[in-house]
Structures are given as C-alpha cells and as structure tokens.
Amino acid sequence: MQNEIDKARVLTEAMPYIRQFYGSTIVVKYGGSAMDDETLKEKVILDFILMKLVGINLVVVHGGGPHITDMMKKLGKEAVFIDGHRVTDDETMEITEMVLSGLINKKIVSLINKNGGKAVGISGKDAMLIEAVKKAGEQPSVDLGQVGEISKVNPELLLSLTRDGFIPVISPVGFGVSDGKTYNVNADTAAAHIAAAMKARRVIYMTDVKGLYAEYGDEKSFLESVDEAQIKELKKAGKIGKGMIPKIDAALYCLKNGAEKVHYIDGRVEHALLLELFTEAGIGTEIKL
Amino acid sequence: MQNEIDKARVLTEAMPYIRQFYGSTIVVKYGGSAMDDETLKEKVILDFILMKLVGINLVVVHGGGPHITDMMKKLGKEAVFIDGHRVTDDETMEITEMVLSGLINKKIVSLINKNGGKAVGISGKDAMLIEAVKKAGEQPSVDLGQVGEISKVNPELLLSLTRDGFIPVISPVGFGVSDGKTYNVNADTAAAHIAAAMKARRVIYMTDVKGLYAEYGDEKSFLESVDEAQIKELKKAGKIGKGMIPKIDAALYCLKNGAEKVHYIDGRVEHALLLELFTEAGIGTEIKL
Amino acid sequence: MQNEIDKARVLTEAMPYIRQFYGSTIVVKYGGSAMDDETLKEKVILDFILMKLVGINLVVVHGGGPHITDMMKKLGKEAVFIDGHRVTDDETMEITEMVLSGLINKKIVSLINKNGGKAVGISGKDAMLIEAVKKAGEQPSVDLGQVGEISKVNPELLLSLTRDGFIPVISPVGFGVSDGKTYNVNADTAAAHIAAAMKARRVIYMTDVKGLYAEYGDEKSFLESVDEAQIKELKKAGKIGKGMIPKIDAALYCLKNGAEKVHYIDGRVEHALLLELFTEAGIGTEIKL
Amino acid sequence: MQNEIDKARVLTEAMPYIRQFYGSTIVVKYGGSAMDDETLKEKVILDFILMKLVGINLVVVHGGGPHITDMMKKLGKEAVFIDGHRVTDDETMEITEMVLSGLINKKIVSLINKNGGKAVGISGKDAMLIEAVKKAGEQPSVDLGQVGEISKVNPELLLSLTRDGFIPVISPVGFGVSDGKTYNVNADTAAAHIAAAMKARRVIYMTDVKGLYAEYGDEKSFLESVDEAQIKELKKAGKIGKGMIPKIDAALYCLKNGAEKVHYIDGRVEHALLLELFTEAGIGTEIKL
Amino acid sequence: MQNEIDKARVLTEAMPYIRQFYGSTIVVKYGGSAMDDETLKEKVILDFILMKLVGINLVVVHGGGPHITDMMKKLGKEAVFIDGHRVTDDETMEITEMVLSGLINKKIVSLINKNGGKAVGISGKDAMLIEAVKKAGEQPSVDLGQVGEISKVNPELLLSLTRDGFIPVISPVGFGVSDGKTYNVNADTAAAHIAAAMKARRVIYMTDVKGLYAEYGDEKSFLESVDEAQIKELKKAGKIGKGMIPKIDAALYCLKNGAEKVHYIDGRVEHALLLELFTEAGIGTEIKL
Amino acid sequence: MQNEIDKARVLTEAMPYIRQFYGSTIVVKYGGSAMDDETLKEKVILDFILMKLVGINLVVVHGGGPHITDMMKKLGKEAVFIDGHRVTDDETMEITEMVLSGLINKKIVSLINKNGGKAVGISGKDAMLIEAVKKAGEQPSVDLGQVGEISKVNPELLLSLTRDGFIPVISPVGFGVSDGKTYNVNADTAAAHIAAAMKARRVIYMTDVKGLYAEYGDEKSFLESVDEAQIKELKKAGKIGKGMIPKIDAALYCLKNGAEKVHYIDGRVEHALLLELFTEAGIGTEIKL
C-alpha cells in the first residue's frame, strides 16, 4: 500500500507543472531513438497521451530519413546527399512521401490510438498546411531536386484538430504553391514554423544527444541554458556543427515568433518529455531569447 | 535521475484511469480526519486540485458537526441530540450556519485556492441549491427544530460553476421553501442528492473507518464490494449500525439516479482519493446496484 | 380601475430609465439602515430583484461592522479600533468572517431568493476574488493585525455568475496572496475595486445620510452633484470628514476606471435605489469626474 | 418625494408578474381603437416597448380593414363583403397589401422605433411566414377572390428576429404556395396560428368591447373566464355572434397548440396590456382549455 | 448527353468566381428594366437566389419611381419634380411609401420566395435601418418636402438577416430621427450607404444603359473601368450628366468605405449579374479608387 | 456574348439541384478511370470542389488496387488473390498502406488543393475512423492475412473536418481493435459504412461500367433504378456477378441506415458527378429501398 501512496504523491508533485501548461500548445519534433527503439517508443507514446489528457494542445512532427534510405535500397535506388540534403528526384520524392506519410506517420498514429489517444496523421500537403518553394543548392550548379524551403504555414487544420481533442501527427512533406509539386522539407524547420504559426508556447526537439555543448566533446561544457547572445558567440567561435545550425536557427525563429522556450532533450532517456515538462529534473538544453 | 524517471513512469501508469474519468462529475463528501488533521488536509486538497486538472468535474460537500458543538460551547450553549439529530433552535441554527458556511467552508476554499485551484464556497441556500422541509422527529412529541429533509436540489449553479472551471465547495445548509427558514441538513444525504441532480458518475464518502463490514468488528468480514441485495440482507440481519443506515440509503438513492458506484473510503489514508481513482490499489468499500 | 391604470402609467414612465441601464453592470454597496431595518430591508431586496429583471447586471457588496462587534461581545471579546480600523487578531478575524460570510451574507441571499431572485453569496476569498495585503497602521508602531488593503480583484467568478443570471452578494473578506491569511477589507473600497474590475457603469453607496454637504451640518450646502475639482477643494478646505475620505477616494478610483457616475444615496428612504435609477427624482449626491 | 416613492413601489408591485413572463413569447393582435385613436395609440406603443424590455418576446399582428375601405374609395372602388369576407379581386388585393404592409405596418414600426423600441415590419409573405390557400365561399357559387385560409406558418424569421431583440410587427397577408398569389388572411386567425407555431405562452386580442358575455347586452352576464366546455354550450345556445366565432375558434386552436391562456381585452382602456399582464386588476375575458 | 456534359463544364468554369466571392457581402441596386420587364425579372430573381446559394451575402435595394407617379395619377395627384427631386408633401410621402414598401418590395420578395429563396422585405424605417434628415433644396426658397438625406445607417438588422440565411430586400424610405417623419431617400445613395455600413465587398447598380462613357453618345468612348482620378477629370470636363452625379458620388463613397469595386451593369442583358460575377465576360463599367 | 449568357443560364438551371443538396452529406467512392485517366481526373477534382462550394458536405473514399500490385512487383513480390481478396501478409500490408495512404491519398489531396479546395487526406486508422477485425476466408483452411472486415466506424473526425470546411479524403485501411494490426478493407464497403455512420444522404460509386444490367451483356436490360425487391430477384436469378455482390450489399446497408439513394455512375463520362447531381440527365443506376 505504501508503494501506492508513493505513487499518488508523485501525481500531486506533478501538479504545479500540469497547471502551468494547462491549455498551452507544445510542438514536439519526434525522431531518433525515441522513434526507432521499440521500448523507448512505447514510453514516448504514453507521454504524448498524458500530455494531451492534462490539457496540453500537443502537435507532433516526425522525421524518418533512415527509413527512406532503406526503402530506396529495396527498390534498387541509391541515396545521394549533397551538403546534407538528400537529392530528391521524382522517384525519390515518391518513395520519400510513401515512407513518411504512408508508413511512419500511420505507425505513430496507430500506436497513439492503440494506447487510448486520438491521433490524426497528416502531411504538410493536407489543407495546404506547409507551403514550400524549391531550395537552391549551395553550389549554383547543384540541383537538389524536390528539396523544399518552407514559405508559409497555414495552421487552420491544426487549430481545428487540436480544438476538437485530436493529436495532429505531421509528416514533413510540403506543397509547392507555384509548381504544384511535392517537396521534401526539413522536419526540424517544419516544427519551428508550425510552432510559430500556432503561437505555440514550447517546442521540444527529441534528439540522440544530451543537448548542446560549448566545446563539443567536452562533457563539462554542457549547456543547460543558452540565449541568443551566447548562440551568436558559439557560432562565431565555430562551436556549433554545420548539421546543428539549421536546428538552432529554427529554434531562434520560433522564439522570435512567440515561443517561450525551445528544448533539446535526449530522447534516449525514458519519459524524457515528462521529465522535462512535469518534474523538477529538467533535462537537455533550453534556448531562450 | 532514475528517481525522476520512476516518477514519470508513475504518471503514465495513472493514464488509463485519468482517461476513464475525463469529463465525469464526481461528488466527494469531505469530512472526518481528512478535514481535521492538518497533515492529511493538505494532501486531500492537492488531490482535489489534481482531479480538476485532469478533467474531472469535482464537487465537494463538507460536514462539520464537531466544530458546531465547540462554537456552541464557547457561546455557552449546550448541544442536545435526539436520535442522532442535533436539536436545532433558532440560535443553534445561526451558530451552525455561521460555523459551516462562514468558517469551515471558507477554510477549505482558501486552502484549495492557495494551492492553485479555483474553489467557490457556497451553501445550499445559494441559488436555492438545496430546498428543505422540516424533518419530523421519530417520536411525534419531539420537535427537532430546524433539522431539515432535502425536498429538491436545483443544480443550475453547480453546472454553471463546474462548466466555468470552478470547484464548488458546499456547506450542508438548506432553504425551507415553504417557511423561508434555514435548515440544517445531513451532509451525507446532501452529497447523494446533489450527485443525483447532477447525474454524477461517482460519489465518494471520506470516512474514518476502513469501509463496511459484514460483521462489525470482525476484520475478516470486510466488504470490498456490496450490491443492493447484499445490503438488504445485511440490514435484515442487523449488521448495519443505525448511524450508518442513512449513509447507505443515500448511496442507494444516487445509484438509482444514475451514479455508477458509490465508494466509502478511509480518509485517514494519505491521498485516499487518488488511490481510489487513479491506481490499481483501490481502497474501501464500493457499492453498486 | 383608475388606480390600476395609474400604476400602469408609472411603469411606462420608468421605461426610458430601464432602457438606459439595460445590460449595464451596477455595483451596490449595501449597508446601514437599509440592511438593518426590517421594513426597509424587504423593500431594498425587491429593488435588487427588479433591477436584475429589467436587465441590469447587479452586484451587491455588503458590510456588517455592528454585527461583528455584537458577536465579539457574546464571545467575551472586546472590539478595539485604531484610526477607524478594527484591530483584527486571529480570533477577531475568525469571528469577523463567520459573521460576515456565514450570517449576514447568507441572510441577504435568503431574502433575495425567497422573493424570487437568484442570489449567490460569496466572499472575496472565493475564486480569489479579492487579493489583499496587510495594511500598515498610520503609526508605525501599531499593528492592525489582519486588516487588509486590496491589491487586486479577479472578476472571472462575478462575470460568470452575472452572465448566468445570478446576483452575486459579496462579503468583504480578502485573501492574502503572499501569506495565505484571511483579511478584513473595507466594504466601500471593495465595491469600488470590484466595479473597476468589472467595468461597471455605476456604483451606488447606500448610506444613512442624505449625501454630501459643502458645509457639514448646513442643510443648504447639500451637494447634488460634485466633480473631482470640487472634491479637491472640499478636501483642502477640510470639509470632508476623515471617515468619509476613503469612500470619496474609492469613488474617484472607480470613476477613473470607467464608471460613469458614483452615487451616495440615503438608504433610509424607501426604494431609494429605484428612485435614483428609474425616476426623475434622483436623490443623494452624484460624483462625476 | 412621497409621490416618487409611490411610483417606485408600483414598480416593485409589478415584479411578480414581470418574473412570471420573463422569457415568454406573447402574441398581441393589435387593432380597433387602440390602433386608431391617437391618444390610446401612443400608450399602447409604450406598453409594447416595456413588455420587450422586461424580457417578453413580443410579436404584434395588426389588422386594418377600415383603412383599406378608405383607400378603395379614394381610388374609386367599392368594397363588397359577402358573409363577412371582403371580396378581393386583383386590384383590391393590391390596395389591401399596399395599405396593410406599406402604410399601417410601417406606421406602427415608426411609432415603436421613435419611442426607443426596435421594431421590424414584415408581412406574411416575407420568408414565407404565412402560407395560404384560397378560401371557399360558404355558398358554392360565390368566389371571394384572394381571400385566403392559412395552411402553414413558418416561424423561422420570427424566431430569428425575437432572439436578436427585435419586435416583429406582422401584416396579415399570406402567400399562396400553390398559385404564387397574394392572399388576404384574417388577422385574428393569423395571430392564433403564429402563436401556435412559435409555442407562444399567451395570445392577447385587443378589441373594442369589454370581453365576452353569456348574454350579449346583459352586462351582468360578463364572463371573466371561460373554458372550452362553456364555449361549446354558449355556441350551442347561440350566444356567440357569427363575427365572434372565428376569433373564438382561433383562441381554441392556439390553446390546443400549447398556449396557456388567450385574452380578449378592451383596447379602449389605457394601458390595457399592462393592466392585464402586470397588475392584479386583470381585465377582459380569459379563455382556457 | 454531350449537351448535358457541356452544362456541367460550365458549372466548373464558374468555380473560381464562386470561390472568390464565397462569404462576401454584395449589395445590388435593383431597378430599371430588370425590375419592370416580366421576362428579365424572372431571370434576375434566379440570379439573386443563385448568388445566395453559392455563399454570397446578398442585399437588394430597389427603387420604384415610375410606379409612384402612376399611383399618384390614379389618386388624382400630379407629380412635381424640382432639380430632379420629387417634391414630397405628406400625401405624396404616404403614396410613395405605400407603393415602395407595400407593393414593389413585397412583389420582389414574393418572386424570390416562389423560386425557392428566403427573402425578407423591409424598409429603411425597420429597426431604424436608414436615419435621414430633410434635404435642403438647391434654391433656398424651394421646399422639397419629405425628401431626405441619409445621415446614418444602422446595419444590425441586415447583419442578423444575412447571417440567418435570408435575403434582405430594402425599400428606400428613411426615418427622420429628429422629427419622426418618414423620408423619401435616393435608392442609389441608399445602396452605397448600406454597403459602407455592412463593409460590403461589391456594389452593383443595375441600370438601363450599357455603363459610363467618356463622351456621352460616342459608343467608342465606353469606359470598362474608371478610377477616382478619371472621374474627377470627367466631371471637370462636364462629361458626367447631372442625373449621374449622385450615383457616381455614391460609388466613390462606398469605395472609400471599404468596397473593392462598384459596377454599373446593363440590366437589359439577361443574367447580367451572373455574367458580371461568374464569367470572364464581365459587362458594364467598373469603378475603383 | 450570347455564349456567355448561355453559360449564365446553365448556372440558374442547376439551381434547383443545388438547393436540394444544400447542407447534405454525400459520400463518393472514387476509383477506376476517373482516378487513373489524367484528363478525367482533373475534371472529377473540379466536380469535388464545386460540390463543396455549393454547400455539400463531401466525403471521398478512394481505392487503389492496381497501384498496390505495381509496387509489389517493383519490390519483387507477387500478388496472390483468393476468392477476390488480396492475400495480405505483413509485408504486403505495409506496401498496401504505403501506396494507399502515402501515395494515392496524398495525390488526390494535392490535386484538390491545387485547384482551390481544402482537402485533408486520412486513413481509417486516423482517430480510429475504421475499426476492423480479421476476415475469415471462405474456405476455413485459407488465411487471407490482414484482410479486414469493418466492425465499426467512428465518424467524429469526419464530422469535425466537414463542419470546418475541409473535404476528407479517405484511404481504405482499418485498425484492428483487438490485435492492434493494420487491415486492408474493401473501399466500397468502407464508403457504405462511413455513409451510414455520418447519416449521409447519398452514396455515389464511380465505376468503369455504365451501371447495373438485368442481363449482363444485354444493353437493353440496363437498369436506371432498382429497389431491394428487384435486387433479391436478380440475385436469386444469378444475374449479379460475384464481384458485384459486396458492392450491392454495401448499397443496401447504407440505404437501411438512412441514405436516400445509392448511385452507380460511369466514371468514364466527363463530369459524371455533376451530371448525376445537378442536371436532369442523371446517369447510371440508382438503388433505393
């Protein structure tokens, strides 16, 4: 019995946090081990449903790069990356969309619904959620194909779904307004733009690292909290890896559009979301203006 | 950190229960040690707020007999009980109302609000919530004074308050529709009638005993669950004490008016409400039809 | 019959006034003879209900000083006043709250409901309506105990109750946000702050004098209407008594927060409220910016 | 001052009546002296506005026979009546509609609005409010022209207008669903059918007689209240005049469709409506089932 | 069958236009041949209903001068015009109102409703829609009688009717706020003021000419589109006829109050409204700022 | 110009039909040539958008068998059919879902949105729209794998989307409530069950045949309209092909659940939907009870 009482006490300890986020919109970029590891996955899903039950308007944006590469292989097609972007010809785009919107998206939805949530899986093409334009390669001669940059987010569908109690799960595929083509968009950036359009309060990136470091590789330089000024310095000092830069820029973008904080948390930690939101622990790095 | 992860896990374990009661109305009769013991009291208040945060329309009905007797003493007046009812002359009624609606009620309200809830303390006279008529004494010659029987509950105010996010806290004082007098009503019965009028899903009585027994005093005869048929037998066999009978009748009344279950739980156990609602443990006795 | 026709004509004469206040919020500070005299009381209650029926969002704030002093005496406690404030130790606060929120408040509620209104009695502690802080004594060495100054009014509960057709009746007791204690607040000031928070159109103080005078005691100097400039002059000339100053300051406060006019009316006159609002007569003193 | 206090008292005396009708729909058939006498007219208009202000959903249906006859004369056309019905050829119908919907209707509207109400004048053709069919003459050989019988009332427009705070004023002209023609319908019957379709609580006919009599001409036989059984007897005994029969039948029709009472009041009495609704006097004859 | 397929194709061709106006308010000034020619009339009515069905908030304002003159003649009264205004004595006003609000207005309503729309005919006196003041004659000595200038439009009734799915049909009669008299107002001006008050997107004047010309009589100088600057020049050059000036000024007035465009279309062309709104053709002259 | 006028006339001819379906829910099963032929596809999409614009709550259910078989081939997997069902092992289900929910579904969505509609693509797994159970093979020894039978439809998501102006496009994939697996469900049956759950008024099956025939192959036996009795006879006489039977049963199912009519139309005809709904032509076979 004492055990059960301890559990009840835990619930009441979470209360101030629950109250704090009641009615707030939180966008979670879901990916990495938290999405691929079977044990972790089950736990994240429970975290999602709990967040919704205690009054958070949860929006999930997922990635899925490795699965695309796998499917391309099965279909005898090799993945080519230039400057970190997957070169996306018509066939690659079709595979990408099929895998992201048809497989990964619906698996997340199923898992949430099986556990009692009410998820709805959509892509950025639904209700013109994500408008995109073709991204220019860094080298003028390079054509990245259907790699897109987000030009606008139309949040009506998300507002409608969250208001009616659903958890939107979004596949990072955009619609080319000028050419009607489908575009592969960066999931991190998509999460930030969606958060900005929805006036979200928090954005949480689930990654496979502990967070940000002032000196990459030096555990002691781990950053619990950074602000814009510090980020500028770190960038200047070359301390932020090239792959990390778009994520950091996305974070700054949504902070400037009304988000209170952006978190990078370690998705390899069980219940990382609940730890971050509902306990004193807090994990990972938080970014503020 | 493991400790924090364990806490997060507890939250997710509570999820199926939270989901089950989401949007339901639950009436709690609050009294006994849970109301008088300083340590327990703080915990019950947290339980109340948590119940509200996870989507329960909570309604609290409190008692307060001993405090009335104390105040009567201070004012040099002796409490007289006949057949378990406090004989209530005009002055006693005034003291009763002052203590119940002015002191106890507002203390509970303060405690909830201090901890972050939004409680509103009312009595059965507000918005004519509890209509009462004079109760006849068991012996015709006895005049119990302003002891009332509930003749009708008008739940509009409660529906309005719960819809707008408040926790109504109710003092068991009724309004005499035919004579305009104030009446002292039984808090257990009030909880049952309010539950019936609000179509509540559960009614929980917080008491200072473990629950019901088939053989009073015989720990082995403890009843985890009883239904109407068993209650009839127990009554017939004289196993239900005279003081318990109105409580049991109140339970049957609200079950017949739509409640799913009525619980008698031991308010001396910490977080007894959360244990009963949100863990597998379950405590006390449940009554079903 | 002619008599009845005359009555009907009276109704139509009131029409322009009824139309003028339709949908407006009016806060009435209720006290003095209008609250204590049995005959007057009945009439004021009818006025309250009529105001509500013809479309006014009525909010009533009551006082109750003399009753507190009586109850203190009964309990063998002497009332001590310093600079016009009741020194309020813990026990005094408990008696004050019991009398204001438990007795007087519920009596007004009963009387309104008995006559067909729908009143709900609350105190400033309910839904954290009145937030208060400890008042410093004028002499630094004096500790007034739990005498409070209003630091904030949270009008949500009042807006919810008035929108749903109820008449809120408010006991002037506040909640100490920083210390969780209960505070005795001035009812006149409470009425003004509540009016400001609710964007009320009018505030009416029911008193036991005819209104304001330029020369106290000189009937000919009676003021039907004064504005801020005149008040400044009167203050400067020492024409406003010390006890009157907080009332006048409260009036100016709510005028500066959107109220159109503040009225001081003589509660000893039958149907003083209706006379002021619905007839050409008008009584008492009106204060405008 | 005493005079003003008396006036205020009158307002409170009206309160129980005001409360009783708060939120109810009342249909008034407006005609006779109350519509034609300049002095009376002004007073009735005030009564209409007051009814609306104190929470009644007022609907006015007017007649206008004499004015039609006047206009016909001006245009060199003679009015022909058979069995009490105006024989209505195309030109007569045009004059009828012009006078009823263009002149009388708008005059009533103007008068209400000038005095501060919000009236909207419509005819039974607007939003297909009154559907009509051609009335067969009593003698088969007689063609009454466009005299119509009401076949259906579509109350949507009235519900919309009353909900938004307007007073609908209705001209008794119907639309022939099968032939698209305009029909002259009986205003008394229209009031009854509209009341039935709107689930009105009361219907009040303003006439130029005191009410109903058991023996026409015998003042002592005046009927304050009659029910269906008595009406049957009176009819049988030939005590109800031929012109009165359709009015009586209309009354019974709306009583059977949910109205509580139908009143015949003497429109020549000042403020007859207020007397009937808001004073103890009560005038005229009431019909109940 | 091919024929039917062609019809279906036409529907889809109209789609971009339908989408463009979905949810917009459009005010149509209805008059001329489109109102008087039996064949054209039927077609315009169908256009009205279709506009409403495809999501336009349609408001119709009609004129009716010639019919007034006819009725005056029948009643032996001669129409007198000064500077283009009908001199309107009391009797003329009564005839005007009777014809406009009683005859023409209700005929349009009938025709719409017979064809399946839900029209409601009102005049500017209903709900005080059009407030007017007496118009001064150009020559000081001339008294035009009840010719009015619009001083204010109160659009509440129109907003209520359009929101509830009705088509308001408005007779150009105004209410004199200062004198309570009825005023004859210019229908063109009324349409412009109503459009401004309703924040309408378009105003369409149905006339009996093709549109505006730079050189009246010179077909080649026909103007498809003019803006304010051009209008100024045309006025200066005396190219805009005196009768046209108020119409043009009305157009500029509503453009300055938020309308996107004002159209003058030739009502003699079948389905002129649909051509203008839903086909590429476009007809008449459009005026923009 | 005459050409344009003819077009406008077509719009008004469609009006009675538009009015008839205004506000109705219509489920379209979209497949066959209408989905695969590039020219036809564009036209159907326009039809969808027009239906939505004129007030129909459109719901689209698509199929996609041939595309699944294609993708299976590309991945080196052979499609196996038993009794008309695709044997669906885990890998086949994954391919099926990827193609249906990831490719086909999003292509339809894109096409609608590109043309100005607001489509949202979901599968039966979203918000648990389609609950399914494993289908038993006709021969007990045969395991069809994840071929599902629909056990329940939860229409909340569809009601929410249609109310907010979106066109839901549904991929026929169901969620196994008892085993959490994904199921391949028959698109025809899905359309019928969705229609029943939404209380749809019409269900339209777009096929590649003209409709139903009494004698297959005998053009003269074409059926324009059949009812339940005739279907029974045709079945008995063996006139309905095995592949057609589930479609017919689905039709009867939704007719019994409130649909007015079910249509089988020839998707090879341009604008077949508009022809069926908005012209007198009507095409294909209609089934009624």
pLDDT digits (tens, 9 = 90+) for C170-207: 999 999 989 999 999 999 999 999 999 999 999 999 98
Dist. CA E16–CA C86, nearest whole Å: 75
Identify any residues that bridge with B41 across adjacent strands, giving them in sequence order: none
Contacts of F19 in chain E (CB under 8 A): 49, 53, 116
**Mean pLDDT, range C245-262, rounded to an integer:** 90
Which residues, at least 6 apart from B240, have a Cβ–Cβ distance to it below 8 Å?
Answer: B212, B231, B234, B248
C-beta of residue B118 within 8 angstroms of C-beta of residue B110: no
Contacts of E174 in chain D (CB under 8 A): none
pLDDT at residue C1 tops 70:
no
- Residue F49 C-alpha, separation from nearest chain E C-alpha, in angstroms: 8
Cα distance between the two ends of chain B: 46
- pLDDT bracket for residue B90 (50, 70, 90): very high
Backbone CA torsion sign across C264, C267, C269, C272:
positive
Residues of E with CB under 8 A from a CB of F: 1, 4-5, 7-16, 18-19, 22, 43, 46-47, 49-50, 53-55, 116, 269-271, 274-275, 278-281, 283
Dist. CA D244–CA B209, nearest whole Å: 76
**Mean pLDDT, range B243-254, rounded to an integer:** 85
C-beta of residue D92 within 8 angstroms of C-beta of residue D145: yes
* Chains sharing 3 or more CB pairs under 8 A with chain C: B, D
Contacts of A13 in chain B (CB under 8 A): 7
Percent of chain E at pLDDT exceeding 90: 62
**Mean pLDDT, range E9-30, rounded to an integer:** 90
- pLDDT bracket for residue C26 (50, 70, 90): very high
Which residues, at least 6 apart from F140, have a Cβ–Cβ distance to it below 8 Å?
Answer: none
Token couple for F57: 């709550």
Question: Closest partner residue to E50 among F1, F7, F15, by Cβ?
Answer: F15
pLDDT at residue B1 tops 70:
no
Give per-residue pLDDT as tens, E248-270.
Answer: 888 999 999 989 999 999 999 98
Question: Closest partner residue to E97 among D102, D114, D157, by Cβ?
Answer: D102
Q: Residue B197: which CATH number? A: 3.40.1160.10
Question: Closest partner residue to B11 among A22, A55, A278, by Cβ?
Answer: A278
- Residue B247 C-alpha, separation from nearest chain A C-alpha, in angstroms: 27
What pLDDT does A69 receive?
A: 92
**Mean pLDDT, range B172-183, rounded to an integer:** 95
Residue B6 lies in a domain: no
What pLDDT does F1 receive?
A: 62
Which residues, at least 6 apart from B105, have a Cβ–Cβ distance to it below 8 Å?
Answer: B62, B121, B122, B123, B169, B170, B171, C101, C102
Taking CA atoms, A60 is separated from A28, A63, A95, B85, B267, in Å, by 5, 10, 22, 59, 41
**Mean pLDDT, range B182-200, rounded to an integer:** 96
Residue D166 lies in a domain: yes
Give per-residue pLDDT as tens, B101-134.
Answer: 999 999 999 999 999 999 999 999 999 999 999 9
**Closest of B278, B274, B277, B286 to residue B40, by C-alpha:** B274
* The length of chain B, given as a count of residues: 289
- Residue D96 C-alpha, separation from nearest chain E C-alpha, in angstroms: 9
Residue C140 lies in a domain: yes
Give per-residue pLDDT as tens, E159-170.
Answer: 999 999 999 999
3-class secondary structure, C28? strand
* Chains sharing 3 or more CB pairs under 8 A with chain B: A, C
Q: Do the Cβ atoms of C123 and B100 come within 8 Å?
A: no
> In terms of DSSP H, where are the helices of chain E?
2-21, 33-36, 38-53, 65-74, 90-97, 105-114, 156-163, 187-198, 228-236, 245-256, 272-278
What pLDDT does D32 receive?
A: 87
What pLDDT does A133 receive?
A: 95
What pLDDT does E1 receive?
A: 61
- Residue C111 C-alpha, separation from nearest chain D C-alpha, in angstroms: 15
> In terms of DSSP H, where are the helices of chain B?
2-21, 33-36, 38-53, 65-74, 90-97, 105-114, 156-163, 187-198, 228-236, 245-256, 272-278
Dist. CA F128–CA A106, nearest whole Å: 11
Q: Which domain holds residue C103?
A: 10-288
What pLDDT does A191 receive?
A: 97
- pLDDT bracket for residue C241 (50, 70, 90): confident
Dist. CA C256–CA C259, nearest whole Å: 7
- pLDDT bracket for residue E182 (50, 70, 90): very high
Dist. CA F264–CA F260, nearest whole Å: 14
Contacts of A53 in chain B (CB under 8 A): 15, 18-19, 22, 54-55
pLDDT at residue E59 tops 90:
yes
What pLDDT does C32 receive?
A: 87
Residue B217 lies in a domain: yes
**Closest of E204, E87, E205, E71 to residue E137, by C-alpha:** E87
- Residue B148 C-alpha, separation from nearest chain C C-alpha, in angstroms: 16
C-beta of residue E26 within 8 angstroms of C-beta of residue E204: yes
What pLDDT does F279 receive?
A: 82
Name the closest residue on chain F to residue E21, using Cα atoms: F53
> For residue D247, is it left (φ>0), alpha (ψ between -120 and 50) or beta?
alpha
Q: Do the Cβ atoms of E98 and D99 come within 8 Å?
A: yes
Tell how far CA F230 is from the center of its chain.
Answer: 23
> For residue B179, is it left (φ>0), alpha (ψ between -120 and 50) or beta?
alpha
Residue A2 lies in a domain: no
Token couple for B221: 């005869």
pLDDT at residue F202 tops 90:
yes
- Residue F15 C-alpha, separation from nearest chain E C-alpha, in angstroms: 6
C-beta of residue C7 within 8 angstroms of C-beta of residue D280: no
Dist. CA C188–CA C247, nearest whole Å: 6
What pLDDT does C238 receive?
A: 82
Is chain C in touch with chain D: ≥3 Cβ pairs within 8 A?
A: yes
Token couple for B202: 């559960």
The interaxial angle of helices E65-74 and E90-97, nearest 10 deg, is 120
What pLDDT does D98 receive?
A: 96
Residue A4 lies in a domain: no
Give per-residue pLDDT as tens, F242-265.
Answer: 777 878 888 999 999 999 999 999
3-class secondary structure, A134? strand
Separate counts of helices (H) and strands (E) for chain E: 11, 16
C-beta of residue F191 within 8 angstroms of C-beta of residue F250: yes
Q: Do the Cβ atoms of C278 and D54 come within 8 Å?
A: no
Is chain F in touch with chain E: ≥3 Cβ pairs within 8 A?
A: yes
Q: Do the Cβ atoms of A126 and F120 come within 8 Å?
A: yes
- Residue B10 C-alpha, separation from nearest chain A C-alpha, in angstroms: 6
**Beta-carbon neighbour count of residue F35 at 10 Å?**
20
Domain count, chain F: 1
- Residues in chain A predicted with pLDDT less than 70, given as ranges, are 1
Backbone CA torsion sign across E263, E265, E267, E270:
negative
Token couple for A215: 């000196």
Token couple for A200: 């979200």
> In terms of DSSP H, where are the helices of chain D?
2-21, 33-36, 38-53, 65-74, 90-97, 105-114, 156-163, 187-198, 228-236, 245-256, 272-278
DSSP state of E99: I
Dist. CA E216–CA C232, nearest whole Å: 71
What pLDDT does F240 receive?
A: 79
What pLDDT does F54 receive?
A: 92
Residue D4 lies in a domain: no
Residue C2 lies in a domain: no
Bridge pairing between strands F81-82 and F85-86: antiparallel
Q: Do the Cβ atoms of F116 and E271 come within 8 Å?
A: no
pLDDT at residue B281 tops 80:
no
Tell how far CA E194 is from the center of its chain.
Answer: 10
Amino acid at B34: A
Dist. CA C123–CA B140, nearest whole Å: 40
> In terms of DSSP H, where are the helices of A98-177?
105-114, 156-163
Residues of B with CB under 8 A from a CB of A: 1, 4-5, 7-16, 18-19, 22, 43, 46-47, 49-50, 53-55, 116, 269-271, 274-275, 278-281, 283
* Run means of pLDDT, 10 residues per run, chain D, 289 residues: 78 87 96 88 93 95 90 90 87 95 96 95 98 86 89 97 97 94 95 96 92 80 90 86 80 93 92 88 86
**Beta-carbon neighbour count of residue E140 at 10 Å?**
7
Question: Closest partner residue to A126 among F102, F109, F164, by Cβ?
Answer: F109
Of residues E53 and C241, more confidently modeled: E53
B/e letters for E91-111, b = 16+ CB within 10 Å, e = fewer, are ebbbbbbbbbbbbbbbbbbbb
pLDDT at residue E208 tops 80:
yes
What pLDDT does A79 receive?
A: 86
φ, ψ of residue F215 to 5 degrees: the values are -120, 105
Contacts of C11 in chain D (CB under 8 A): 10-11, 14, 50, 271, 274, 278
Cα distance between the two ends of chain E: 46
What pLDDT does C156 receive?
A: 97
The DSSP line for B66-135 is HHHHHHHHHTT----EETTEE-B-HHHHHHHHIIIIIIIHHHHHHHHHHTT--EEEEETTGGG-EEEEEP
What pLDDT does F198 receive?
A: 96
